[in-house]
Structure 1
Amino acid sequence: MDYGDLTLDDFLSRFQLLRPSLNRTALNARQAAVLIPVVRRPRPGLLLTQRSVHLRKHAGQVAFPGGAVDPTDASIVAAALREAQEEVSIPPDAVEVIGVLPPVDSVTGFHVTPVVGVIPPDLPYRASVDEVSAVFEMPLAQALHLGRYHPLDVYRRGSSHRVWLSWYEHYFVWGMTAGIIRQLALQIGIRP
């Protein structure tokens, strides 16, 4: 398949045919969730945010809407939907949740579950001024192109940790966000 011609139907059928196993031991006990919003278009997009430069952690980084699970959240999925609404005004009932990717342990001590959902193309995004400085859409076919991600091995506290790096327009996409997008590409069967 030429992923430059990736349609939403192609993406959905491949994702649903290859659902991941979620049996994994968490290194971190604190739970968090992010929403991977796939924009419903003939050539789908991937909605991303750039975090505010005024935040204490991950300032200015490209990210998916998301955050820590609150005690009032009914589930991991509910947490991802709540955070997407708080950060970029995506109504939870506008998201068609299609599944999750395997959780990722963050360097900040969270066990993060990526929730994949499809959103309408005409939503009026309103970024939370406290948390988000920009909202942008990247073509899904470009996002899932594995050749755009470059590994960097970081040594911290005596152990090696691989992070992935990429650029889209003037946005530097790296770390957990790049790793999640790369995992999504592998999940639907794209190979390096």
Structure 2
Amino acid sequence: MADQTLTLDNFLSRFQLLRPSPPAAPANQRAAAVLVPIVRRPVPGLLLTQRSPRLRKHAGQVAFPGGSMDSSDASLIAAALREAEEEVAIPPERVEVVGVLPPVDSVTGFRVTPVVGIIPPDLHYHASEDEVSAVFEMPLAEALRLGRYHPLDIWRRGDAHRVWLSWYQHYFVWGMTAGIIRELALQIGQDS
């Protein structure tokens, strides 16, 4: 795909050919989900948030809207949509869910399912002041450029873990968020 322009149609055709089946909630881990919102534009964007610096966990980190599954959520997809509405006021009915990525295990004991959805360009985001300090958009083609992610191997409890790092403007994108974006790029066969 390096020689093609990344349009939403190109992305969707690649993603739909390769998307995995929706996972069931794990029995022995806490279930969570994030929305990976792709903004429907001629040049599509990837919507990201920066978590509030006042939060106890992951303060100030770049993230996707999301969180743990509640007993009221019918599915992990419903959890991602509910959290996106709570955090940045994305109405669930305005999200076209196109699939999910494989779940990712967090260092905090959650199994996080990334839910990929297309959102319209005319949404007015209203960040929850308690949870989100900024909402920003990165061009999808730039976000999915594999060459922008740099590995860092760290040791945790005697095991080696690879963490991915990247910058976009003044935002430091790393950890699970960078790993999810990189996984999406690998899944659709994005180059460099």
Give the shorter-chain TM-score range: over 0.9
**1:114 aligned partner:** 114
CA contact (8 A) 1:20 1:187 kept: no
CA distance in 2, matches of 1:161, 1:86: 31
Contact 2:145/2:191, CA 8 A, preserved across alignment: no
Residues in 2 aligned to 1:28 and 1:171: alpha-carbon distance in whole angstroms: 34
Match for 2:189: what amino acid?
G
* Partner secondary structure for residue 5 of structure 1: coil
Residue 156 of structure 1 deviates from its aligned partner by: 1.0
CA contact (8 A) 1:27 1:105 kept: no
Q: Does structure 1 conserve the Cα–Cα contact (< 8 Å) formed by 2:2 and 2:191?
A: no
Look up the match of 1:11. Answer: 11
**Aligned-partner Cα distance in 2 for 1:191–1:144:** 8
Mapped to 2, the partners of 1:175 and 1:16 lie a distance apart of 26
- Give the letter aligned to residue 175 of structure 1: G
Deviation at 1:190, TM superposition (A): 2.1
User: What does 1:1-192 align with in structure 2 at a 5 Å threshold?
Assistant: 1-2=1-2, 5-20=5-20, 29-191=29-191
Kindly state the Cα deviation for residue 16 of structure 1 after the two structures are TM-superposed: 0.2
Q: Provide the rounded CA distance (Å) in 2 between the counterparts of 1:175 and 1:4.
A: 28
> What is the root-mean-square deviation in Å for CA atoms of aligned residues?
1.8
What stretches of structure 1 move > 2 A for 4+ residues in a row?
A: 1-4, 20-28
Post-superposition offset of 1:191? 4.6
Structure 1 counterpart of 2:34, which letter?
V
**1:20 CA drift (Å):** 2.5
For residues 64-86 of structure 1, the C-alpha deviation after alignment (integer angstroms, 9 at most, x for no partner) is 00000000001000000000000
Structure 1 counterpart SS, 2:71:
coil
